[in-house]
Structure 1
Amino acid sequence: MTTGKPLSVAIVGGGIGGLCLAIGLLQCPHIKLDIYEAAPEFKEIGAGVALGPNAQRALEMISPAAAKAFLRHATPNISPEHAKLWFDFRYGLRGPNYGTVLGKVENQTGQQTVHRAKFLEELAKLVPKDISHFGKRLVRVEELDPGQGVRLHFQDGESVTAQCVIGADGVHSVVRNSLLRGEAKAMFSGIVSYRGLIPMDAARAKLGKYAEDSYMWTGEDGMVMTYPIDFGKTLNVVCAKYGRESWDYPTYMLPVDASLLKKDYEGWGEIPSKVVDMIEKPTLWAMLEHPPAPFYNSANIAIMGDAAHATTPFQGQGAGQAIEDALVLCRLFRYVRTPALVAPALAAYDAVRRERTQRVVKTSREAIEEYSLYHPKVNGDVGKWRELWSQRMKWIWDIDLAEHNDEALQKMKSLVQPPLERNDAPIVIKDLRSLMYRLRSILR
């Protein structure tokens, strides 16, 4: 039974995940949608963001227009023969094994990256201006009495109420902090990353063919990763090191002197050393991740993307998992036509998304170490390295998203009687609270 009154949904955070969710929910005429963004406009920090085949399929399923927004600015590998290449892995340390080809890992779409700001700008064009509210820095989330929804309190003194709130507010999420009562906050992963950009003309002059496609130069405590962005006009560089005990800076990203980067990469071979030498203004980032959250939702609140499962970037899945989150939420909310259906929808979202996304966080942290030729699983054997990496990413890239959505819908239906297809009878939630906690204990 529907009331005829639109269901109010508030998205906190207008990054890639939040806007993808908004684009999907805008296709639901029974939803009144608002987006609250702390910044004065939709914006992203950083340069390139890669979307794997799973993320690109999810984007297409949310909206063909959103998929086109990505492809309009996406940069693939320049060499035609590397169209399906994710990364060409090479051993990067100076010595007899330098330059050894460990393996060329491929997928359906290859390495496709886009400038974060340009992608977000294209997504923002698909969102009506009148539902976007800027300068809204969230300070407190108040869950009201059953049936009354959630009240959001902003730094500027304004408060708003919605029947459902989705926190897409990033790694330092206020919504997450409220939902989990301050537990499971983002933590330093022990990995730092230097980032920089090199004009492609300069990169080609010094690196030759190694400037035009995606390469990963690996060592025993880190890697040097390069790939083209901005339609091949720029080479994006990420140099990561692991095994750090602490982060001793007041912010999680800061400009540093190039000498610090060069010192960290002494002893590396010819090509990675040339890459490091060409970065004139590197930035240093602390790689953060979330410890596993026991749940992603309450009756009227859910968290998604970096707010739910912030991860290191070593499987290229940060944005991709946020887009997958958005897809599942969009599909579930097609059926959420009354406030009573919000809780079972969010419980179903938690049940199908938490296990997968937390596995991504865990395996991403492991990936940077498993890049190495001398990881214990490989122990210097190139054949074992190739065997490991030939299948390692399949479970991420090859997910059947239609089946994933169906699983979520079936879980939602199991919490509701009568079946969702019927709209002529009162909706009864079957012992929702105990069932939600049972699901959480099973999947924890």
Structure 2
Amino acid sequence: MHSFPGRKLRVAIVGGGIGGLTCAAALKDCDNIELDLFEAAAKFIAIGAGIVTWPRTWSVFEALGLNEEMLERIKKMDPCEEVFPAWEFRLSDSKGGRKIHELHYRDATPTNLHRQQLLDLLLEHLPFHCQVHFGHRLVSCREYEDRRGCGVELHFRNGVTLDGYDIVIGADGLKSVVRQTVIAQSRSWTGLDASVKDLGFSSSMTNGEQCHLGRRHDILYTGQSAFRGLVPREKLAALYPNHRALRTSTIYCGKFKHIVVYPISNGEIVNVVAFFADSQSGSPVILETTGSSSPQNNQVPTDAVVNMYPGWEDEVVDLLKMLEKPTIWPILDLNPLETYATSRIALLGDASHSMSPHLGAGACTAIEDAYILGSLISRSKFNTLIDIKRVLAVYNTLRQPYGNEIMRWAREMGEFYEFDSQDIQVDEVVDSLVNEATEEHISKFRKGTEKYWSWPVRAAGTIGEDLRRGQEMLDEAKLGDLSCSRMTGINN
């Protein structure tokens, strides 16, 4: 990678979560750039507990040089040779719960991690040239072309203002401030280089225009909330040594409710996420400019969780009774974005496609976004501004269709778990899916599950496929042969 003649390329990553740290690690060989990483908190900390990773995600770990260390740290619980499904699905909202489907993959075994475990490992691989700034919560982001030249200006709540960045990477999560700038710019248009216009880019923001938190129509309340909590393996095994949750990742389904459980941290902890619908979906979210950037996570009594699932099968109720310090979270996602990038700014992870957790795809997709973007930057030569525009345009073309599709699939899968989708609906006045779901309902459920849970093994959006296509598009751009017909979304 070559920087601008006479100086280094200035790059800022906003957000020190899994996506931001992965992107920084992907820039490890770019010691001729100035790399700043801004984190709002006083230290790096993972929000949430469990994360399910797949071979496509591990290809990123391997490319970053993490794979060997990860394998050493994440030991199998025991050498048992019994084969367990990737997921087991049950109808559970009655004492007579029953299994309705199992999901198996060929050569695609999931690995369950604790988020902090992954975050800590990524921290060990931060580039030496990455300058980390804690306590920097972004309040506005502005792309400019004026007497100073052109670049991106960042203003933080602590009063610090920094400008002159050539590339800003928004990894600032659900409440992304950087996203607001991208949305604002996508609504205006002026002439750009033809090869960039073909990618659907907008012009720079009007001087003085800024984006702030406040009323957010880009963020939507899905109509669901979730209890989250952990159960120590030792505690569960002492009373129920054969409990399904100790070994098998399971989704317990019910009308307007479902519960996801799976072991994490080398099987020492069972992660529990219990969902319930409590209002109409699609409501815009109002966010305050003060407070934490993480979702609301108020602690609730364990009894409140248990009481939300009366009459469910005993193995579910018994597991819920063991939850330690459960919290309640609203489930939010985004209106799909028309673009994940401008001429100098790119979004990744939750900043671009924050999604419902029903496919366990959010963190994995963020990791892939981050590595693809970092790789495109590290493999490119930057001599003029148009080189930046082209690289970010290629990233957007690769990741925006895929990210938006997985975000939509995640919401639709959540509706399937509760038999409340357009394809399978059980009368909402029934007492139990166990008793009322017909074989036709269950057949459609299985087909939907196989469709939506195909994402971990799809060729579309994988590292190899994206980098190959990305290099082809960059080569074409340099030859002036970058057309709209070639810059389409990812093919299924």
TM-score bucket (shorter structure) = 0.7 to 0.9
Using a 3 Å threshold, how does the CA distance of structure 1 residues 396 and 150 change in structure 2: closer, same or farther? Answer: same
Helix, strand or coil at the partner of 1:354: helix
| Aligned residue identity for 1:163 | D
Match of 1:14 among 13, 16, 41: 16
Residue of structure 1 aligned with 2:371, choices 291, 309, 327: 327
Task: Give 1:159's match in structure 2, choosing from 149, 161, 164.
Answer: 161
Give, in whole Å, the separation in 2 of the partners of 1:249 and 1:196: 26
Partner of 1:344: 390
- Over 3 Å counting, the alpha-carbon distance change for 1:195 and 1:442 in structure 2 is closer
Q: Is the 8 A contact 1:11 1:168 kept in 2?
A: yes
Q: Supply the distance in 1 between the matched residues of 2:438 and 2:362 (Cα, whole angstroms).
A: 30
Question: Distance between the aligned counterparts of 1:141 and 1:242, measured in 2?
Answer: 35
SS in 2 for 1:145: strand
Identity of aligned residues (%): 29
Q: Do the aligned residues in 1 keep the contact of 2:225 with 2:329 (CA within 8 Å)?
A: yes
State which of 453, 461, 464 in structure 2 corresponds to 1:393. Answer: 453
The counterpart of 1:380, out of the listed 412, 417, 438, is 438
Distance 1:142 1:376, change over 3 A: closer
Q: Is the CA contact (8 Å cut-off) linking 2:243 and 2:315 kept in structure 1?
A: no
Q: Look up the match of 1:238.
A: 273
* Larger displacement relative to structure 2 (154-163 or 306-315): 154-163
Q: Do residues 205 (structure 1) and 263 (structure 2) align?
A: no
Moved more, 312-321 or 112-121: 112-121
Contact 1:84–1:108 at 8 Å: present in 2 too?
A: no
Q: Deviations over 1:52-91 (max 9, x none)?
A: 2222223323x122x3454454476768456663212222
Please list, as runs of the form range in 1=range in 2, the aligned pairs for 1:76-95 lying within 5 A after superposition.
80-81=80-81, 85-95=85-95
2:65 aligned partner, one-letter code = P
Which residue of structure 2 lines up, in the alignment, with residue 141 of structure 1?
Answer: 141
What's the offset of the Cα at 1:128?
4.3
Shift in alpha-carbon separation, 1:336–1:244, aligned structure 2, 3 A: farther
C-alpha contact (below 8 Å) 1:220/1:373 kept by paired residues: yes
1:174 to 169, 177, 181: 177
Query: Which residue in the other structure is 2:112 paired with?
Result: 113
Inter-partner Cα distance in structure 2 for 1:274 and 1:79: 27
**CA distance in 2 between partners of 1:56 and 1:84 (Å):** 20
Do structure 1's residue 406 and structure 2's residue 468 form an aligned pair? yes
| Counterpart-to-counterpart distance in 1, 2:447 and 2:490 | 33
The residue correspondences of 1:177-256 to structure 2 (distance < 5 A) are 177-181=180-184, 184-207=217-240, 208-213=242-247, 214-242=249-277, 244-245=279-280, 252-256=296-300
How far, CA to CA, are the matches of 2:452 and 2:131 in structure 1?
A: 41
Contact 1:184 1:292 in 2 (8 A): no
Give SS of 1:144's match.
strand
Structure 1 unaligned spans of 5+ = 420-429
Partners of 1:412 and 1:387 lie apart in 2 by: 39
Letter in 2 for 1:410: E
* CA gap 1:219/1:73 in 2 versus in 1, 3 angstroms: farther
CA distance in 2, matches of 1:441, 1:389: 24
Q: Is the CA contact 1:193–1:240 (under 8 Å) kept in the aligned structure 2?
A: yes
If the length of structure 2 is used for normalisation, what is the TM-score? 0.78
Distance in 2, matches of 1:347 and 1:118, equals 33
Distance 1:52 1:407 in 2: 22
Is the contact made by 1:25 and 1:31 (CA closer than 8 Å) also made in structure 2?
Answer: no
Residues 143, 383 of structure 1: alpha-carbon distance in 2 compared, 3 angstrom cutoff = closer
Which secondary structure state, in structure 2, belongs to the residue aligned with residue 244 of structure 1?
Answer: coil
What do residues 30-54 of structure 1 show as CA deviations (whole Å, max 9, x unaligned)? 4321111111111112211121222
Aligned to 2:318: 274
In the alignment, is the contact (CA less than 8 A) between 1:194 and 1:261 conserved in 2? yes
Is contact 1:75–1:112 with CA below 8 Å preserved after alignment? Answer: no
1:270-304 CA distances to partner (integer Å, 9 max, x unpaired)? 11111112224210011111110111111111111
Between structures 1 and 2, the one with greater helix share: 1
CA contact (8 A) 2:397 2:489 kept: no
Instruction: Quote the Cα distance in structure 2 between the aligned partners of 1:71 and 1:291.
Output: 37
Considering only aligned residues, what root-mean-square deviation do their CA atoms show, in Å?
Answer: 3.1
Distance (Å, rounded) in 2 between the aligned partners of 1:78 and 1:328: 35
Residues 144, 79 of structure 1: alpha-carbon distance in 2 compared, 3 angstrom cutoff: same
Give the conservation status (yes or no) of the 8 Å contact 1:206–1:274: no
CA separation of 1:242 and 1:84: change in aligned 2, threshold 3 A: same
Deviation at 1:185, TM superposition (A): 2.2
- The residue aligned with 1:284 is 328
Contact 1:50 1:111 in 2 (8 A): yes
Q: Distance in 2 between matches of 1:92 and 1:76?
A: 29
Distance 1:299 1:440 in 2: 18
User: Matched residues in 2 for 1:80 and 1:149: separation?
Assistant: 56
Show CA shifts across 1:138-189 (max 9, x none). Answer: 1111212176211111222222231110000111111112221367522211
Q: What is the aligned partner in structure 1 of residue 52 from structure 2? A: 50
**Judging changes above 3 Å, is the alpha-carbon distance between structure 1 residues 119 and 396 closer, same or farther for their aligned structure 2 residues?**
closer
1:352–1:404 contact (8 Å) kept in structure 2 = yes
- TM-superposed CA distance for 1:198, in Å, is 1.1
SS of alignment partner, residue 131 of structure 1: strand
Whether the 8 Å CA contact 1:91–1:102 is kept in 2: the answer is no
Matching residue of 1:424: none
Match of 1:141, SS state, is strand
